[in-house]
């Protein structure tokens, strides 16, 4: 295994249910990695086995050349942040951040120096003597982050760290997380079910479903070359049309993105239908076309004069094919 963080042959069961089955997964040092998948995919379990909060039933986890599979959590040098902040309510911000250092038995002066440093980096230097209940959600999440990075972990694990924040703050803290990772040169594993969050943040992303890795790659690779129908549908919008519509005689699916299709006046083997609705977006218009049971979306120029009920033909310029199994 070569990566900074590697998983090999990981199996995790709860009772008889296999919730994690990861053959091989590698992450490079100082990269921002996002694990994306629907609820129940096994994302949190993957983080928990990495942190040592759950034991694996089989397999090996290697961090920076060290086999950590059987290490207890406190020996793993890993920082962890959950979506619900999990701050100690009776401690002020300073003491919350200091916990991992005092547990380690560091001297008072050293603790103070490092807490102040990390609070500075996170922009919460003014809040050190407040209690969690006096802070906004975004501030609490920064304190949780400060506590996770104050012991300078080799790996930072973030489990849906933005889900409890409102939309505006979520976007703000999201770009903040990326710049923090770059500044500290730390390796991050960030879990989310939000595909736009994943695409915006990831150097590399992993799409998980049912405890399995569906695909790993850059956001661009995942978006442009989804390996399975599941990935194609989960990341971005995709139109799915039986190949018979295009004159094929197999039972394959033809899949294409709305921006990879166009409205044409004449074509052989294209989707013929009527416009069911128009969604103006300013720089483009999303045209919803209904064709019998099928519904497809096409990105069109707002300059085109289009009307609901109008008959149109849709031609994919670029498409992918999937077998009925979704591969
Ligand atoms: P995600 O974070 O992607 O939503 P989880 O890792 O939390 O998924 O859960 C994966 C599967 O494992 C789910 O089916 C969940 O119900 C099950 N699971 C998680 N934790 C436990 C547990 N402690 N006991 C039993 N089943 C669990
Ligand atoms: Mg989860």
ipTM above 0.95, yes or no: yes
Q: Kindly identify the ligand whose nearest atom is closest to the C-alpha of 35.
A: 1
The structure tokens listed for 160 are: 């849906």
Residue 166 confidence (pLDDT): 86
Average pLDDT, the chain: 94
Q: Is the confidence at residue 101, as pLDDT, over 80?
A: yes
213 pLDDT band, cuts 50/70/90, is very high
Please give the domain boundaries of the chain with CATH numbers for all domains.
5-233 (3.40.50.300), 239-322 (2.40.50.140)
With a 6 A CB cut-off, is 43 part of the ligand 1 pocket?
yes
User: Residue 39 C-alpha to ligand 2 middle, in angstroms?
Assistant: 6
- 21 within ligand 1 shell (Cβ under 6 A): no
Residue 74 binned pLDDT confidence (cut-offs 50, 70, 90): confident
Nearest ligand for residue 48 CA: 1
39 lines ligand 1 (CB under 6 A): yes
Binning pLDDT at 50, 70 and 90, where does residue 107 land? very high
pLDDT at 159: 96
Q: How do strand 187-192 and strand 239-242 relate by DSSP bridges? A: unpaired
Comparing 35-49, 260-274, 283-297, the range with the smallest average pLDDT is 260-274
Is 40 a pocket residue for ligand 1 (Cβ < 6 Å)?
A: yes
What mean pLDDT is predicted for residues 278-282? 94
Q: Is the CB of 217 under 6 A from ligand 1?
A: no
Amino acid 296: pLDDT? 97
Strands 320-322 and 212-217: unpaired
Compute the C-alpha angle 153/157/163, nearest 5°.
140
- Of all protein residues, the one whose alpha carbon is nearest to atom 22 of ligand 1 is 14
Task: Compute the Cα dihedral for 52, 54, 55, 61 and give only its sign.
Answer: negative
Residue 1 has pLDDT above 60, yes or no: no
Average pLDDT value for residue range 96-103: 93
Q: What is the pLDDT of residue 112?
A: 96
Band (52; pLDDT cuts 50, 70, 90): very high
Give me the percent of the chain exceeding a pLDDT of 70: 99
Q: Residues 115, 154: contact at Cβ < 8 Å?
A: no
What would the pLDDT profile of 128-160 be if each residue is shown by its tens digit? Answer: 999 999 999 889 999 999 999 998 999 999 999
318 pLDDT higher than 90: yes
Predicted TM-score of the model (pTM): 0.92
Is the CB–ligand 1 distance for residue 19 below 6 Å? yes
Measure the CA–CA gap between 148 and 79, rounded to whole angstroms: 5
14 lines ligand 1 (CB under 6 A): yes
**Residues near ligand 2 ion, CB 5 Å cutoff:** 44
Residue 186 Cα to ligand 1 middle (Å): 27
Nearest in space to 50 (alpha carbons), one of 28, 79, 30: 79
pLDDT reported for residue 265: 87
Q: What pLDDT shows up at residue 200?
A: 95
Q: Which of 10, 44, 49, 230 to mutate to test the pocket of ligand 1 (most atoms within 8 A of CB)?
A: 44
- pLDDT tens-digit map of 217-243: 999 999 999 999 999 999 999 999 999
| Ligand approaching nearest to the C-alpha of 83 | 2
């Amino acid at each position: 295994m070569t990566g900074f963080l590697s998983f090999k042959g990981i199996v995790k069961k709860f009772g008889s249910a296999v919730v994690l089955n990861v053959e091989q997964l590698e992450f490079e040092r100082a990269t921002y990695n996002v694990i994306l998948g629907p609820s129940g995919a096994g994302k949190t379990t993957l983080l928990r086995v990495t942190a040592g909060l759950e034991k694996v039933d089989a397999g090996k986890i290697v961090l920076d050349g060290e086999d950590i599979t059987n290490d207890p959590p406190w020996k793993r040098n890993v920082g962890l942040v959950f979506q619900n902040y999990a701050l100690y309510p009776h401690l002020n911000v300073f003491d919350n951040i200091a916990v991992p250092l005092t547990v380690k038995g560091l001297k008072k002066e050293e603790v103070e120096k490092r807490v102040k440093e990390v609070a500075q980096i996170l922009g919460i230097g003014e809040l050190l003597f407040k209690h969690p209940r006096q802070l906004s959600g975004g501030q609490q999440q920064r304190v949780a982050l400060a506590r996770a990075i104050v012991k300078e972990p080799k790996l930072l694990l973030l489990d849906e760290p933005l889900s409890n924040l409102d939309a505006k703050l979520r976007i703000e803290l999201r770009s903040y997380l990326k710049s923090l990772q770059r500044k500290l040169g730390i390796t991050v594993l960030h879990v989310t079910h939000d595909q736009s969050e994943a695409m915006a943040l990831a150097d590399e992303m992993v799409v998980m479903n049912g405890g399995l890795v569906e695909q790993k790659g850059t956001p661009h690779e995942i978006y442009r070359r989804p390996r399975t129908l599941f990935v194609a549908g989960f990341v971005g919008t995709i139109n799915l049309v039986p190949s018979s519509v295009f004159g094929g005689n197999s039972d394959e699916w033809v899949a294409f993105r709305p921006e990879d299709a166009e409205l044409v006046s004449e074509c052989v083997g294209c989707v013929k239908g009527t416009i069911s609705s128009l969604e103006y977006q300013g720089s483009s218009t999303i045209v919803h076309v209904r064709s019998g049971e099928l519904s497809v979306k096409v990105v069109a120029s707002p300059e085109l004069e289009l009307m609901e009920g109008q008959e149109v033909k849709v031609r994919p310029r670029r498409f992918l094919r999937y077998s009925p199994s979704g591969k």
